[in-house]
């Protein structure tokens, strides 16, 4: 690629879990509805790949399709389905259906599973790039970056509706850390981060200066320039019932912790029972 740092502005040195320099567009994805009848993808959230085979992490409320939320998608047909918009290293892109979503029982976190995808050219199974995840607590005062696809724009080109998705990277700073949460709204541990997010930023990753994803964007505050983010290590107890682990010790209904212990997910520091 011409710009080896990637697509977003104001970014950290972005590298995959294997240490290879890459574009965040290969790892951070818009989540939305795809309508095949009108060939339109309408995003409403953001996710980050945590497995090379297509598992991604996002916020739980991204998958809570309440009537008031669905009302904004009246322009879509009944054939629309949840999907991600997948960018590939050769600068092509495609819609990739979401096969399943698994949510945390209490916390605003979820893991989505994409349909398998094959390389257009040789038919081989496509392996996603993915970012190294951190299970460490980031200190108050740490400068961070948040990545997402907020505020999509719908416009009519004269023949059909089209969506413009503008990726966003915003600088911020951790201004508080609440290990015991904040009442019923945030029963999980939660960071308070100074910085901007927009509608559609939910589920986008928050990275430290070393490029480690340590939190998932949850909810902003309309009255101030800050937002809340859930530590990404809290996905450890999510049961991914749509996946079976093979090998000498096959396992049904694995948790993310089970998958990380088999090194199928790249945590910088392994997630163990009882915390980092």
Question: What are the structural domain ranges in the chain?
Answer: 143-234
Q: Does domain 143-234 have CATH number 3.40.50.970?
A: no
pTM of the model: 0.87
The reported pLDDT for the residue numbered 9 is: 46
Query: Pick from 90, 112, 94: which is nearest to 103 by CA?
Result: 112
Residue 116, CA atoms < 13 Å, CB-side half-sphere: 6
Query: Pick from 98, 108, 30: which is nearest to 64 by CA?
Result: 108
The set of long-range contacts for 4-7, using a CB threshold of 8 Å and a minimum separation of 24, is 7/167
The reported pLDDT for the residue numbered 15 is: 64
Rounded to an integer, what distance in angstroms lies between the CA atom of residue 113 and that of residue 90? 23
The reported pLDDT for the residue numbered 57 is: 95
Alpha helices in the chain (DSSP H): 67-70, 256-261
Tell me how crowded residue 269 is: count the other CB atoms within 10 A of its CB. 13
Q: What angle do CA 228, 106, 108 make, to 5 degrees?
A: 30
Strands 226-231 and 205-207: unpaired
The reported pLDDT for the residue numbered 13 is: 60
* DSSP bridge pairs for 155: 162
Rounded to an integer, what distance in angstroms lies between the CA atom of residue 74 and that of residue 56? 27
Q: Three-state DSSP class for 69?
A: helix
Rg of the chain in Å (alpha carbons): 18
Q: How many whole angstroms from its chain centre is CA 227?
A: 16
Sequence-distant (6+) residues with CB within 8 A of 169 are 8, 9, 10, 11, 24, 145, 146, 147
The reported pLDDT for the residue numbered 158 is: 75
- pLDDT tens digit at each of 276 positions of the chain: 334 444 454 455 666 666 677 677 788 999 999 999 999 999 999 999 998 888 999 999 999 888 888 888 888 999 999 999 988 777 778 899 999 999 999 999 999 999 877 766 677 777 777 777 888 899 999 999 899 998 888 888 777 888 888 888 888 999 999 999 988 889 999 999 998 888 889 999 999 877 788 999 998 877 778 999 999 999 999 999 998 888 888 899 999 999 888 888 877 664 443 443
| Unique residue bearing structure tokens 């951070």 | 28
Q: Three-state DSSP class for 236?
A: helix
Secondary element (H or E) of residue 235: none
């Amino acid at each position: 690629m011409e710009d080896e740092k990637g697509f977003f502005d104001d970014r950290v040195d972005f590298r995959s879990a294997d240490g290879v320099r890459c574009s965040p567009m290969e790892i951070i994805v818009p989540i939305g509805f795809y309508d095949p009848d009108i060939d339109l993808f309408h995003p409403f959230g953001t996710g980050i790949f945590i497995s090379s085979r297509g598992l991604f992490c996002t916020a739980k409320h991204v998958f809570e399709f309440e009537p008031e939320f669905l009302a904004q998608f009246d322009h879509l047909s009944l054939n629309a389905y949840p999907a991600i918009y997948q960018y590939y290293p050769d600068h092509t892109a495609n819609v990739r259906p979401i096969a399943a979503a698994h949510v945390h029982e209490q916390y605003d976190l979820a893991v989505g599973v994409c349909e398998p995808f094959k390389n257009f050219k040789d038919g081989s199974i496509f392996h996603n790039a993915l970012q190294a995840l951190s299970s460490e607590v980031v200190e108050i005062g740490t400068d961070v970056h948040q990545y997402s696809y907020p505020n999509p724009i719908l416009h009519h080109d004269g023949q059909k509706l089209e969506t413009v998705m503008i990726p966003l990277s915003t600088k911020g700073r951790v201004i508080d850390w609440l290990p015991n949460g904040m009442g019923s709204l945030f029963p999980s541990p939660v960071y308070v981060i100074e910085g901007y997010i927009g509608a559609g930023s939910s589920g986008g990753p928050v990275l430290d200066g070393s490029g480690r994803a340590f939190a998932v964007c949850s909810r902003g505050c309309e009255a101030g320039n800050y937002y809340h983010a859930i530590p990404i290590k809290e996905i450890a107890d999510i049961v991914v019932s749509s996946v079976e682990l093979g090998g000498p010790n096959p396992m049904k209904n694995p948790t993310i912790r089970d998958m990380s212990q088999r090194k199928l997910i790249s945590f910088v520091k392994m997630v163990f029972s009882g915390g980092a």
